[in-house]
Each structure stands twice: as structure tokens, then as C-alpha cells.
Amino acid sequence: MASTYTATHPEPVKEAPPPEMRAPAEKPLSGLFGLGDVVLRFLLSASALVAVILLVTSNQTKLIPIPAPPYLISRTAKFTQAPALIYFIAAISVAGFYGVISTLISLYALLRPGSFPRVLSHFVIFDVLLLGIVAAAVGAAGAIGYTGLKGNSHVQWAKICNVYDYFCRNISASISVALFGSIVLTLLILLSVYALSKRIPKQIH
């Protein structure tokens, strides 16, 4: 009886789910996304290094006229005399160190495609935090640079860039390079978010 029942009433065959209901296969993110991530992180570390070098080498000594003997005194303009510039160089140094470490990690993840999405998910958090730090540093240094260039007649702050021209040129160049680094960080965040969004399964209604 059992064999007859099996023959006349076969077990129903499970049908395969339609294509739109199947889980999409994982797409590798190690192609152009990975290469772009490595290049941008290298540019971040390089721009931070250049910005730090420009700021550290900005010291300039000039003879300033005074109304009493000896009528000329030597004065040196240094970035360490402005707390905003000290914060600026600290923030950019952190960005450069982070750029070197993240470049090596991203390059390692590029050689192991399975680990790349996980690395991106961690990078995007630190990239956002670092972008806030660098943007604040660029804004603070830019305010000091503008005051040195134009002065402030309302509070009787004299401009100094007409005297310390080399110092001001280096400061402005350093801020410009750091601003480029913040743009690179923005591109890194957009790249990471876009790359991770490609892994979200799309539902077909």
C-alpha cells in the first residue's frame, strides 16, 4: 500500500522562486571603486604632507622700524604664535597620518576583494569625522590668514602681510593645499557611500 500511494501520489516538487525574489549575488567592489579609493587616500596623505611642510617653513624674520633707538628691531613671524595655526597643523598632521594608514589598509583590502566592503564601512565613519576636523582647521586658519592680509580697522588690528610677505604666502598656500585635502575627503565619503549602496539588494515591485 505504501508503494502504491507513493507511485500514485508523488511528493510535490518545489518550484524555484522567480528571478526577482532571488537574493542577488554579491558584486565585487574591488575594481574601479577600490583603485579610486587607494588613489584618493594617497592624495590625502600627500596634500597633508605638503600643507605641513609649507606651514613649518613659513617662519620669517624682518627688521621692524620703531620710533626710538635703535630704530630697527628684529621680529620673527611664526605659526606657533597663533593658536589657530597650531590647531591647523595638528589637524592636518592627523589627516596625513590617517591617510598613510588608510592607504595601506585600502591597498591590502584591494588585494583581498572579500574584505573590501567591510573596510569601506569602517572607513566612511572615520572619513566623516576627519572631514569635520580638517574643515574646522581650514576655517580657523583662513580667518587668521585673512586678518593678516587685510587687518581689522574696527578693533585696530594692523595687517602684517605687507611686511611678512613670505610668511603669508606660505600660510595661504598651506591653507589652499589643506582645502584640497578636505575636497579629497568629501570625494572619499561619496565614493564609499556609493560603493556600499551598490550592495543593497533592489526589490522589484
Cα atoms in the 13 Å half-sphere on the side-chain side of 26 = 9
Residue-number span of the structural domain to which 101 is assigned: 28-58+82-197
Closest CA to 137 of 92, 70, 183, 102: 92
Closest CA to 161 of 182, 138, 141, 145: 145
Please answer whether residues 95 and 129 qualify as being in contact, where contact means their C-beta atoms are separated by less than 8 angstroms.
no
In angstroms, the CA 143 to CA 129 distance is 22
- Asked whether residue 74 is domain-assigned, the answer is no
- Asked whether residue 170 is domain-assigned, the answer is yes
Residue 72, C-alpha cell as written in the block: 630697527
Report pTM. Answer: 0.78
**pLDDT tens-digit readout, 53-104:** 999 999 999 888 888 787 788 889 999 999 999 999 999 999 999 999 999 9
For the chain, the domain total comes to 1
Mean pLDDT, 10 residues at a time, the chain of 205 residues: 48 51 45 83 96 94 83 88 94 95 87 70 89 95 92 86 92 96 94 78 57
In angstroms, the CA 141 to CA 151 distance is 14
In angstroms, the CA 129 to CA 107 distance is 21
- Asked whether residue 40 is domain-assigned, the answer is yes
